[in-house]
Amino acid sequence: MVVRIRLFAASLVLLFAVATHAQTPSPTAAAANATPPTTFVVKFRVKVGKNAEFERLFKETQQGVRDHEPGNIYYDFCVDPKDPQLYVIVEHYKDAAATAAHGQGEHTKKMAAAIRDLLDGPVDAQRLVLISSK
């Protein structure tokens, strides 16, 4: 069981690390900023009856991000109003170093290990590179 939890946590950290370098921004964005801001949209399907525990864990993680990640611009925790088992995290980092720091944070590793048994399916993470903002 401990090995599976560690394997899951390592997989989640690897997902964030790979996603940091997996896509190339448009030439315009690359020229404007060598390490462009990155946004992740991460979806979690939670087992029925596990919502409260999942929400508690993510609120703890948000506090860790707030306290220890100055490179995080926002870390929004949402739920789909039509599907209460589908949670979405929208997180935005100022650069690749900030994204990497998130993946290495103790609060992130703790959350990755703790949510494993709460999920009803794989985590779906999409990495987006900022081209422009208001």
How many angstroms separate the CA atoms of 125 and 122, rounded?
10
Span 11-55, pLDDT tens digits? 454 344 444 444 554 555 444 556 789 999 999 999 999 999 999
Tell me, what's the pLDDT at 99?
Answer: 93
Please give the C-alpha separations between residue 11 and each of 16, 18, 35, 70, in angstroms, as whole numbers.
9, 10, 24, 24
Q: Which domains does the chain have, with CATH numbers?
A: 2-129 (3.30.70.100)
Average pLDDT over residues 55-64: 96
